[in-house]
Structure 1
């Protein structure tokens, strides 16, 4: 069972997931990085360019999902270095520090809240979010093109690309595509017909929506949502 709530860290989400039975899970790209807790392990989930498929015996997971563009500064690792990866935090931080944090979470009455406390401390000790990155997300998520976004922010195209690689793991064009996918999924989950979802999310047509969903999520939209048609 999956559940989430708003974090005390602005823009972040705290989530838990305990699958009820063995099977395949699918984490869709969303432009975010997560700090994960799973059976005594602390990990970092890098940004995904395609659906991340999980499987095997069900185990309990918890995570703090950072707002797009903030996780790299909080965790002290460029997003591009953990792109499409799940990495043990001990591979990124001093092992002694990670052991201390693991012990703290394991000994807590509420490990999920303890994990959130760790994320809050990461944010307090790490680099503060660059407000320009929030503007990048807002502009691209509104459907603005990459060139128009760069002009609006007073950046050259190469500058924008470099900053996006560090913060998001990929360039602004890929980020815009992923944000568009998330807009479409939100509309379709609310019951908006697929043809209208395509138009409202910024796709050229329903066929364009279908191609992007299949490529980024790994399955057709109807199958992904557990229903047919549009």
Structure 2
């Protein structure tokens, strides 16, 4: 993809987000884009950065660390780890990322807290809520969410910001909204239970369901292909 294409695609993605916010009766700055840049080279991220994008989401740790090194001169870039996080990778994530989306176990949260370098300050955490009920999907079940949130809030180097979710794909806008409404309701429950916590983030929505997610209160929407173009098939 040419340099101009990244900028143009990002502009179109922003226009789509603003249109969704307007349709939902929300301010233009009520939600932001998280540019999902997995499998994309550092120079494409740099072009998005030049076009004003600051938050980038990565799934693959080593690939992300290589990009961070290549883009080390961009001191206000914000790195989000959004993949499934295994115990043996928590140290490098704690050392090199600003956000972690998808924490669904106290063990992972505890390791991130213990391994976070003091000079980096607290790491922002989104708990992953299971809204699909699929055994193969990660996420904490709703009934276990308050206990996990309480555990995370007690850890010294973490800042619990909110929830993220990956609902089962659907082409039905109402079904999409119902899934996202569950996440929004869960966050409202946590806010009531933990009023001192900075619970301001709903990380939900992708290219196929952005409008439904924004209608239900998403504050961070994950877009990859819409900004950077298609990815090669897995295993290619």
TM-score normalised according to structure 2 size: 0.32
TM-score normalised according to structure 1 size: 0.33
The structure with the larger Rg is 1
